[in-house]
Amino acid sequence: MADRVFIEGLAIETCIGVYDWEKEIRQKVVLDLELEVGLATAGASDALADTVDYRAVADRLIALVGAARCELLEALGESICDCLLSEFALRRVRLKLSKPGAVAEATNVGILIERRADGVSEA
């Protein structure tokens, strides 16, 4: 099993939705992330420079998602994964992107995607 850093429950307000009224308001989305990265070097060195800085990742996503204007979670999810894979030394990103309240009868709805740094998609 590969090493991973995770961030759970990162709540960010953004402009997302297909309906006209949704394009005029900000709604909460919630991100759960698994970031595949080698951790052995950081484990031996105890140095932040040898791992992925989850505070830096969270700050980048707060800025990215907060400024986004998407209709679909799918588009926002791709943007998030593209950003993380291009700006951080990651092998793979697994993202659960939720939009609480989007379906009144459901506890939660959203998407779950994985993207790899080498561009090979998972089937």
Quick count: other Cβ atoms within 10 Å of Cβ 44?
9
What integer is the mean pLDDT of 2-14? 97
pLDDT tens per residue across span 55-104: 999 999 999 999 999 999 999 999 999 999 999 999 999 999 999 999 99
pLDDT tens per residue across span 19-43: 999 999 999 999 999 999 999 999 9
Which residues have a catalytic role annotated?
A: 99
CA distances (Å), origin 87, targets 61, 82, 105: 11, 8, 38
- Note the pTM of the prediction, 2 decimals: 0.93
- Provide the 3-class DSSP secondary structure of residue 11: strand
- Whether residue 122 is predicted with pLDDT greater than 70 in this model: the reply is no
